[in-house]
Amino acid sequence: MKRWTYSSTDKPPSNPYNWPKSTPEDIRERPQRIVKIGEPQTFYFCNNFVKTSKYEAWNFIPKFLLEEFNPKTKIANCYFLVISGLQCIPQISNTGGIPTTLIPLFIVVVIDGIFQIFEDISRHRADTAANASLADRLSKASHSFEKCHWWELEVGDFIKIPSRGQIPADVVIIAVAEKPDSPAQGVCYVETKSLDGETNLKIRNALPNTYAKIQNAEQLVTLVGEVEMEHPNKLIDSFTGVIDFGKTLGREPIPANCVLLRGCVLRNTDWAIGLVVNTGHDTKIMMSSSGTRAKTSQLESLASQEIIRIIYLLAIVCVAGATGQAIWNALNKVEDMWYLKWNQNAIAFWFIDFFYFFLLHATFIPVSLYVSMSVVRYVQAYFMNNDLSMYYAHTDTPALVRTMTLNEELGQISHIFSDKTGTLTCNVMDFRKASINGVSYGEGITEIGRAAWKLQNRPIPQAMLDSEVKARLNAVPHVSFYCPKYEIHSTGGAGQLQQEKIRQFYRVISICHDVIPERVDGQLRLSASNPDDEALVCAATYFGFEFWDRRENFTIIKNKHLNKEEEIEVLMVIPFTSKRKRMSVVIRDPADNQIKLLTKGADAVMFGRLRTNQDFLVDRTDQDMREYAIEGLRCLLIGFAVILEDDFRSWHKEYRKAITDISQIERKKRGESNSIEDMEERLEQGLTLLGCTAIEDKLQDGVPDCIAQLARAGINLWVLTGDKEETAINIAVACNLLQPSEYMDHIIVNNTTAPDVAGMKTLFTTEIERYNKEDDNEGFNSDPMKPRALIIDGPSLLVAMADMQPRGLRELLLEVSQLCKAVVACRVSPDQKRQMVHLVKTGVADVRTLAIGDGANDVAMIQEAHIGVGIKGEEGLQAVNSADYAIAQFRYLSDLTLKHGRYNYIRMSSLVCYMFYKNILMSVAQFWFNFNCAFSGQKYYTEGAIQLFNLAYTSIPILFLGFYDMDISPDTVFLNPETYLAGINNEYFKTSLFWMWILSAVMESIILSVLPLFTLQNFSVVTGQLSQFYEPGMTCFTAIIFAANIKLFFMQSRWYWFNYLILVLTLLFFFATLFLITSVQALDSNFYQVWTRMTASGTFWLNLLMLLTIVVGKDIYVSGLERNFNFRPPHILQELEVGNHLETRVTNFMSSRLSIKSGGRRAVADSHVTDNNSGGNSSKVG
């Protein structure tokens, strides 16, 4: 039975049921999206109205309240809502049936609501502006384009987009403006910055069967046809569809480069006409903007667990109170005391008492906990966003906090997973070297090459260093080349054959690419989808083959060797994909009128496609590639093949049939076997090797120092890259991630060291046993145990991850990785990156992972980690948009984690502990009074003061601790990154530490509650007035306010003038409000004029001084004991700062006090790194 929900038009919806979470059965029922052209639509499509706002005026209150009182995320709010409900029950209420807890709860919820409203208003404004924008839509009645609002557009409409106009929906390009008196090309350019963050222009093409035949509205009106296409999805780089105009214009596939997506901007083209195929929330940009999963910090999760334990403690207190009253009633003739209204049902009376005590001590949980954490995080995020030490002036890019709930989590990172290209490197490519016909060209040495020589303990020849200087002096944009040998060979000095091979090599490079030429102010500017292509085209220009333009199906190059312009007909382009790892172009060469296949790609896919009988050339080129890889250069093989005319015509016919078959397109999209890829494989064979290119991707500034600091902080670093093993290792050495073998053991896992499952298992087992043996014997050896590094390649990782048996390869891999200070994974795919993060995230106890990358291939890894960090670099904003934090350079990661993360973790830990401490102090002090009032539950304080306790008396000063406090200065943190280890070990918010705070509050509450009952018996010496329990209760509460605020002196490391001012204002507000509450009889008749009498008595002030001396004296004594006998590294560093020894290092102290841990096992930090990055002199502190 069909489950469709029909609209008022009685048309079935275009999408499968419950799309995009449809079942296979639902998809079989509606396998494709059908769009009619020039005819009424068969299916119902959503309109083009978009809504990104979270709330509407009519649903804000219910929706917001459901979020605020979600027991999974905000248990404290639910707790206080229950308390408010219980307060309305007269039998158990201690507030006369009035839910007084609703007042502070209401204020807290309102503050949260205001934050949400302001955030949502900006979304509403953006939605209104977008929906009200104007578009030009074809009117069949007038046969012209007429203005309409974006929200009025429908699927099947034809629209005309002007130059620099934003695309209002996903459209298939029918035609574009052409140059007068020139053949139609069907080419336009689009800026996709709002979609993927990339600023370079992309080339887009009109449909080949329409661009030369459709140029005006009259021709559009007569079009009739149908589009079969994919259902809406978020894959912005993919599109599957076929357009069929019948016998008039025929049937054509719709590739991704024939589609303009909503949010993009048309550039360098006067206009474009498109057919609307996706509207509103079906467009790819809207499908991509679905909210990411909510993330919660470990500290907040632990705090929620402690709330549950505190509720258990509260239950124990309530049981004690109710049982105490039952015992007192049993021991006294309570039935004779008529005024107590004794209930003869003792069990019912016990339960009533239980809930009465539950309400009396409901303040065990701080009502302002969540709002305080939110405010502190907001201000912390502001400081992080505006930190100049994380601002990259070159691109005007500050840091960006996208998920402020994880601010404190940054201070507990144990594992960092990093991409290489664009993350550790600049992703700005320079052509450095090339191997052509088995001869290597290019001299000099890269920064990574220097690291390779260092790894081998070999001195770098001076000639190599001199060549590097000359290469830099001769450099032009994207080319840094110096080679006297090339100058000889390129002019025929090594024979005519080599000269021809050199020219053929660079000619192929100048043709085989998808670079777009732009002309700005008469200057040619290249716009490339990836920086490698741009560098190669620049190199071809440098060596005499300048890519000049694209006209229709022709690529125009200027051949400086022949001093002429060449027009090369492009017959077919098979683009590069991450799966194919190669690009091919089929051309008709004007030099000999032959059809040729030009291909460039990675060695892993190219070597198998080379023709036979060129083994010597292949071996020489492979040897050169290995040399280039050692220098960290990125290599691509270049090859060509001649194709017979009939063979190509036959292949092209079959290929066209395959790419217009919607079923084959879908199979390809799902990664299944398909005829499209089979045909591509069939064509790309029998290549003649020309050589290989070598491109340098330089390391970002500060990467080695940053990695050295993170390693000393106890963080395990994993570099996950698609590079060759040699390249990955040498880059890791250049980054200070790996050290030479005399300082670090390298565990290499590849098809040589572990050719099969048994070999890999033996390797892992041997390494584990060797480590355990060295660890057991270390106390008897004079030399410390060397740290280890694991280097594993993608194929080996695939084998290891597939073995999920107990003590299988997956488990052994995880165990070995935890013995290592660093892990380098090479030749890994994006999904393998995600799998490695998941392996550590789920397999290691108490681990906190951070993944950092800059490209779309890093998104899966970033989303899998506890914290994702995106680098806003050359590959757009896809990584940034999926991340929790964004920075411009890898080196800022040390500021983000070691500085801000560490501070935020310590501050938030202090805030949470303090919030519970002060509430337990106040609530338990009231409980002790029950021993003096027959466990009747009599209030010890005035109700008004209780309600203001969390909101005003103790809430503001602790916020400023959360904003500003620093135990040690940032300079000291970076000089001593080992202090970060306390966060990894969660030393500031352990359960034991939390309950030490609770125990301290309980002990102090006894003193503050009981002593005033004895010391205030003769309250006024002048009048002889005896005190009631109101005066001791008020004295106790006043002492609690003072003690709780003075406690900050022992928590806060740095005090500024505003801290003192806020403290004074808080206490003055306390005095003023307490005077008001006790001066108005209607507010609390029991405490009427009590505060006035107390403050006029010297006894009260003397008692207050005594109580504070006892409580504060205890804190002074404990603080002195801790600093002298249980001191921690920050204590020593604080003394060094005060003693003006900021630059003094305490290396020996750190070595003795800190144990850098890796998965619960000790690994000695590399002294070689420490000595070279200490930043100061060593000093022994005992």
What burial class does residue 267 get, using C-beta atoms within 10 Å of its C-beta: 0-12 exposed, 13-18 middle, 19+ buried? Answer: middle
Which tokens in the block code for residue 859?
């998104």
- For 163, other C-beta atoms within 10 Å of its C-beta total 15
DSSP 3-state percent helix, strand, coil across the chain (nearest 5): 50, 20, 35
Tell me if 404 sits within 8 A of 901, measured CB to CB. no
Cβ neighbors of 1162 (< 8 A, separation 6 or more) are 775, 1155, 1156
Residue with tokens 């620049």: 538
> At residue 412, what is the residue type?
Q
- For 465, other C-beta atoms within 10 Å of its C-beta total 12
Pairwise CA distance, residues 292 & 290, whole Å: 6
Angle between the 75-87 and 102-131 helix axes, to the nearest 10 degrees? 130
Half-sphere exposure of 654 (CA within 13 A, CB side): 15
Residue 960's nearest CA partner among 476, 375, 248 is 375
> At residue 1041, what is the residue type?
I
What burial class does residue 831 get, using C-beta atoms within 10 Å of its C-beta: 0-12 exposed, 13-18 middle, 19+ buried? Answer: exposed
Buried b (16+ CB within 10 A) or exposed e, 772-804: eeeeeeeeeeeeeebbbbbbbbbebbebbbebe
| Total residue count of the chain as it appears in this document | 1182
> At residue 285, what is the residue type?
I
Check if 419 is active-site. yes
> At residue 835, what is the residue type?
Q
> At residue 62, what is the residue type?
P
Residue 639's nearest CA partner among 776, 496, 436 is 436
> What is the 3-class SS of 149-216, one letter each residue?
EHHHCCCCCEEEEECCCECCCEEEEEEECCCCCCCCCCEEEEECHHHHCCCCCEEEECCCCCCCCCCC
Residue 947's nearest CA partner among 108, 318, 303, 70 is 108
Which tokens in the block code for residue 303?
């705090």
Question: Is the torsion defined by CA of 833, 838, 841, 844 positive or negative?
Answer: negative
Cβ neighbors of 354 (< 8 A, separation 6 or more) are 318, 319, 321, 322
Pairwise CA distance, residues 1159 & 22, whole Å: 41
What backbone phi and psi angles, to 5 degrees, belong to 96? 70, 25
What burial class does residue 329 get, using C-beta atoms within 10 Å of its C-beta: 0-12 exposed, 13-18 middle, 19+ buried? Answer: buried
Half-sphere exposure of 507 (CA within 13 A, CB side): 23
Pairwise CA distance, residues 1144 & 972, whole Å: 9
Pairwise CA distance, residues 996 & 1000, whole Å: 6
> At residue 282, what is the residue type?
D
* Start-to-end C-alpha separation, the chain: 81
Question: Catalytic: which of 136, 170, 353, 419?
Answer: 419
Tell me if 293 sits within 8 A of 981, measured CB to CB. no
Question: Is the torsion defined by CA of 740, 745, 749, 751 positive or negative?
Answer: positive
Residue 579's nearest CA partner among 609, 605, 600 is 605
Show which residues are catalytic: 419
